[in-house]
């Protein structure tokens, strides 16, 4: 399996849940409905990969880079992402609820409608990213930066009794 991943290609329904993946460079590939739940990635590099309806929930990723990748409707809930980088990635409508991110970088990414509800964002840089209609609700943050991004277009608060059920917009220090 390691060899086929490193060769790149189209993977549909691949299930590597609970498996460790170490020291791999994954070239242009498409992953559709693949399961990476509770996987452990360490020192992995993904380039030009597309992930569609894939799950990474409760995974542990350390020193992982995704460059020029796209993630459509993927689930990262509860994942622990340390020294984690996403650069020039399309991340439309992905689920990062309850993730623990530390030393993480999202650079030049489109995070439209992605959710970070209850997410821990420590030493995380969201730089030059589109966060339109993304949810950053109930987050726990320390040194979170939205440099050159548009947090004013994101949702930062839960509905309150006097908001008529609408999600609130709230300023955040950038």
Among 100, 118, 122, 150, binds other proteins (CB under 8 A): 118
How many residues touch other proteins (CB under 8 A)?
30
Please tell me the distance from the alpha carbon of residue 174 to that of residue 171, in angstroms, as a whole number.
9
Collapse the DSSP code of 107 into the 3-class scheme (helix H, G, I; strand E, B; otherwise coil) and give the result: strand
Q: Which is nearer to other proteins, 32 or 43 (CB)?
A: 32
Residues 6+ apart with CB under 8 A from 173: none
Please tell me the distance from the alpha carbon of residue 80 to that of residue 86, in angstroms, as a whole number.
14
Among 65, 85, 95, 130, binds other proteins (CB under 8 A): 95
Stretch that binds other proteins, among 2-10, 21-29, 123-131, 134-142 (CB under 8 A): 134-142
Stretch that binds other proteins, among 22-30, 39-47, 50-58, 144-152 (CB under 8 A): 50-58
| Order of strands across the sheet that contains 20-26 | 20-26, 40-47, 60-67, 80-87, 100-107, 120-127, 140-145
Q: Which is nearer to other proteins, 35 or 84 (CB)?
A: 35
Among 39, 70, 85, 97, binds other proteins (CB under 8 A): 97
Q: Tell me how far, at minimum, the Cβ of 58 lies from other proteins, in Å.
A: 7
Q: Work out whether 149 is an interface residue with other proteins (CB under 8 A).
A: no
Q: What is the DSSP string of 113-160?
A: T-B-TT-EEEEEEEES-B-TT-B--S-EEEEEE-TTS-GGGSB-B---
Residue whose tokens read 């460059």:
67
Which residues sit at the interface with other proteins, rule CB under 8 A? 17, 33, 35, 37, 53, 55, 57-58, 72-75, 77-78, 93-95, 97-98, 113-115, 117-118, 135, 137-138, 159, 165, 167
């Amino acid at each position: 399996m390691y060899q086929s991943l490193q060769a790149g290609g189209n993977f549909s329904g691949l299930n590597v849940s609970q498996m460790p993946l170490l020291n791999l460079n994954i070239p242009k590939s498409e992953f559709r409905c693949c399961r990476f739940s509770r996987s452990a990635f360490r020192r992995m590099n993904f380039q030009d990969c597309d992930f569609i309806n894939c799950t990474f929930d409760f995974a542990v990723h350390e020193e992982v880079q995704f460059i020029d990748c796209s993630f459509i409707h993927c689930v990262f809930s509860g994942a622990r992402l340390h020294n984690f980088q996403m650069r020039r990635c399309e991340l439309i409508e992905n689920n990062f609820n309850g993730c623990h991110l530390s030393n993480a970088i999202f650079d030049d990414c489109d995070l439209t409608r992605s959710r970070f509800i209850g997410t821990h964002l420590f030493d995380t840089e969201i730089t030059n990213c589109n966060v339109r209609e993304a949810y950053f609700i109930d987050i726990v943050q320390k040194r979170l930066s939205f440099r050159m991004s548009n947090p004013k277009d994101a949702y930062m608060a839960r509905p309150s009794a006097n908001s008529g059920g609408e999600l609130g917009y709230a300023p955040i220090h950038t």
